Amino acid sequence: MPCMDYGDQSRTTYRASSTETALRERNDMLARIACRAMELIEGSENAELKAEVLADTETAKWWKLHAAADRLARERREKELAKKAEIETAKASAFAKMTDEEIKAFGLKRPAPPKPKAETAKRGRPKKTTEVQPYL
């Protein structure tokens, strides 16, 4: 799931200026970095580190809200993908039952068979790089 700064939900209400867009991209990048760091800390066996990081109320509050928003966004995306797969399955089933003449009579075209999925990085997480993106 691509983490982002969930604090500003007005992303689609107006056309942002290039400065606002750059700042949002920067905020989203920083949120992804913080999220990855918190996930590593939570997965760590170092209880002292966890306690020290979460002792900071600002960090603990941000992490609680961000993790919840991230979970909801991930669930929403999974539901969308499941619904899309269900629709594609229904379409394929319907076309399998139709003859070429019926398909032509309805003005439809038989869909192409699905392409095999290539190995890709986890969706939503950018590949780790050592390149540093300058902030302008």
Distance CA 59, CA 53 (A): 7
* pLDDT band with cut points at 50, 70 and 90 for residue 136: very low
* pLDDT band with cut points at 50, 70 and 90 for residue 40: very high
Q: What is the pLDDT of residues 98-118, one digit of tens each?
A: 998 998 898 988 877 777 776
Distance CA 108, CA 125 (A): 38
* Percentage of the chain modeled with pLDDT above 70: 74
* pLDDT band with cut points at 50, 70 and 90 for residue 17: confident
| Cα-based torsion angle of the residue sequence 57, 58, 63, 68 in order, rounded to the nearest 10 degrees | 90
Check: CB of residue 32 under 8 Å from CB of residue 2. yes
**Whether residue 8 has pLDDT greater than 70:** no
* pLDDT band with cut points at 50, 70 and 90 for residue 22: confident
Going by the DSSP 8-state scheme, the letter that residue 12 receives in this structure is T
pLDDT at 125: 53
HSE on the CB side for 82, CA within 13 Å? Answer: 6
Q: What is the pLDDT of residues 69-98, one digit of tens each?
A: 999 999 999 999 999 999 999 988 998 899
Going by the DSSP 8-state scheme, the letter that residue 125 receives in this structure is S
**Whether residue 44 has pLDDT greater than 50:** yes
Task: Tell me what the mean pLDDT of segment 30-37 comes to.
Answer: 93
pLDDT at 120: 52
* pLDDT band with cut points at 50, 70 and 90 for residue 1: very low
